[in-house]
């Protein structure tokens, strides 16, 4: 039987663990929240300091044909009753020159720079007050139109996009569709080739299987950037640069994907395969009807990893294509940032648009994702 002190200690440790995990989770969510917040701000307030989490803007009113900020005159210096709603006209060395909009205060001790007698303020009255007595009035305002502006603000019109089927298309749309096409093809191709190789290395028996797999696995020790130049030289000799094939074919073969699926395939009972072979199933039939249906968690995990990597890949598309009609979103965002270096609200809105497909894929595969991570490393 567990004692009361042990129970209390267990509860305390659980609370501490949840608090620690919540703190770690908050550090990961804060950048996302800040990106969304900035994407909904007006240009003038996207980089203001101190920063504000909730997008808001100062309330303004038109005075003599120009916009003036509205503030509350709290008047700790010379008001006996307040606040009063005022419009800020201008700043001067003596203080802030304001015009009274809503007289709800009473002047008790007028400042030296103000030619106003004690008594009630009147609407339209102008006076000079200390800046410390003013509190700017702000209101929450979400600029959803930033997303439409981000989609259109690329300022680039692409000719002969999508194999020449589209003429004069917005650049951001071309980059977006290119990323979708390339990422889907790479994801499907990688899962297919990795599952075939994993099936061969885990279920088929042939001389040198383990040695070949060890050599294949050793390629993971070579940094990917080291192999980019030889692969690019090969594509250049084959005259495949500036094509969709250059973007899709090299990333379709993954030693990591093969290793991930092989470890999972080895956990599937051998008896299921033997029963299928006795019934006359070919190796490919075993792969198609036995292995793949039982490997959904591992396949979902690999699909998520490959999709995320391909969607965010910047260096390889930058190397193999220089035609505007073939560029993908990571390059498009860099181009967008070069064109609008100070328009952070548009850059953040474009980043949110780019992030949406990744979230959709993760939500769809979430049911299998965690289970796949837990089971893919089990040894058969």
Residue for token pair 């006996």 = 80
**Mean predicted confidence (pLDDT) in 359-364:** 82
Q: Name the more confident of 114 and 328.
A: 328
- Dihedral of the CA atoms 148, 153, 154, 158 (nearest 10)? 80
> Which pLDDT value is given to residue 234?
92
pLDDT per residue over 7-42, tens digit each?
Answer: 888 888 889 999 998 888 888 888 888 899 999 998
Summarize the confidence of residues 357-366 as an average pLDDT. 81
Q: What is the largest CA-CA distance in the chain?
A: 106
Q: What is d(CA 253, CA 193) in angstroms, rounded to the nearest whole number?
A: 6
Dihedral angle over CA of 92, 94, 96, 99, nearest 10: -110
Q: What is the reported pLDDT for 338? A: 62
Q: What is the pLDDT of residues 237-255, one digit of tens each?
A: 999 888 899 999 999 998 9
Other CB atoms within a 10 A radius of the CB of residue 367 amount to 12
Three-class SS of residue 79?
strand
Question: Which pLDDT score, from 0 to 100, does residue 113 have?
Answer: 43
- The angle subtended at Cα 375 by Cα 374 and Cα 380, nearest 5°, is 145
Residue 52 — very low, low, confident or very high, per pLDDT cuts 50/70/90?
Answer: confident
Question: In the chain, what percentage of residues exceed pLDDT 70?
Answer: 81
3-state SS assignment for residue 236: helix
Q: What is the pLDDT of residues 79-90, one digit of tens each?
A: 545 577 888 888
Average pLDDT of the chain, as a whole number: 81
The mean pLDDT value for 159-178 works out to: 70
| Measured distance CA(97)–CA(380) in Å, rounded | 80
- Phi, psi (5° rounding) for residue 282? -80, 165
pLDDT of residue 333: 81
Average pLDDT for 189-207:
92
210-235 residue pLDDT tens: 899 988 888 888 888 888 889 999 99
Q: How does pLDDT run across 271-315, given as a tens digit for each residue? A: 888 888 888 888 889 999 889 988 888 898 899 889 999 999 999
- Report the pLDDT value the prediction gives residue 76, as an integer from 0 to 100: 54
pLDDT exceeds cutoff 90 at 122? no
Model confidence at 157, pLDDT cuts 50, 70, 90, reads: low
What is the mean pLDDT of the segment spanning 43-50?
82
Summarize the confidence of residues 166-186 as an average pLDDT. Answer: 82
Question: Which strand (E) or helix (H) includes residue 95?
Answer: strand 95-102
Helix (H) or strand (E) holding 89: strand 84-92
pTM listed for this prediction: 0.76
Predicted confidence band of residue 48 (pLDDT cuts 50, 70, 90)? confident
Say what the pLDDT of residue 77 is. Answer: 53
Asked if the model's pLDDT at residue 185 lies above 90, the reply is yes
Calpha distance 276→320 (Å, rounded): 45
Q: How far apart are CA 182 and CA 176, in angstroms?
A: 10
Is residue 379 predicted with pLDDT exceeding 50? no
């Amino acid at each position: 039987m567990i004692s009361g002190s042990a129970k209390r200690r267990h509860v305390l440790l659980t609370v501490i663990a949840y608090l620690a995990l919540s703190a770690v989770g908050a550090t990961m969510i804060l950048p996302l929240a800040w990106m969304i917040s900035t994407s909904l701000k007006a240009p003038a307030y996207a980089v203001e300091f101190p920063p504000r989490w909730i997008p808001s803007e100062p309330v303004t009113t038109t005075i003599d044909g120009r916009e003036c900020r509205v503030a509350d005159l709290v008047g700790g210096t010379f008001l006996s009753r307040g606040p009063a709603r005022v419009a800020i006209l201008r700043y001067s060395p003596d203080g802030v020159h304001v015009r009274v909009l809503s007289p709800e205060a009473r002047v008790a001790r007028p400042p030296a720079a103000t030619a106003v007698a004690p008594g009630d303020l009147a609407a339209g009255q102008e006076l000079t007050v200390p800046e410390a007595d003013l509190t700017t009035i702000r209101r929450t305002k979400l600029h959803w139109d930033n997303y439409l502006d981000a989609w259109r603000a690329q300022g680039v019109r692409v000719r002969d996009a999508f194999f020449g089927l589209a003429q004069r298309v917005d650049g951001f749309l071309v980059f977006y569709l290119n990323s979708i096409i390339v990422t889907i093809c790479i994801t499907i191709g990688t899962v297919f080739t990795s599952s075939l190789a994993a099936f061969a290395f885990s279920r088929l028996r042939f001389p040198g299987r383990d040695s070949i797999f060890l050599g294949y696995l050793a390629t993971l020790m070579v940094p990917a950037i080291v192999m980019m130049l030889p692969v690019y030289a090969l594509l250049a000799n084959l005259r495949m640069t500036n094509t969709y094939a250059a973007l899709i074919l090299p990333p379709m073969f993954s030693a990591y994907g093969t290793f991930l699926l092989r470890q999972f395939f080895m956990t599937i009972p051998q008896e299921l395969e033997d029963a299928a072979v006795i019934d006359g199933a070919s190796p490919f039939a075993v792969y198609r009807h036995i292995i793949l249906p039982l490997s959904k968690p591992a396949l979902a995990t690999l699909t998520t990893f490959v999709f995320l990597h391909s969607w965010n890949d910047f260096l390889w598309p930058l190397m193999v294509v220089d035609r505007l009609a073939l560029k993908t979103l990571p390059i498009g965002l860099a181009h967008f940032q070069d064109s609008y270096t100070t328009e952070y609200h548009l850059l953040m809105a474009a980043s949110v648009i780019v992030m949406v497909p990744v979230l959709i894929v993760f939500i769809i595969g979430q049911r299998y994702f965690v289970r796949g991570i837990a089971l893919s490393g089990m040894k058969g």
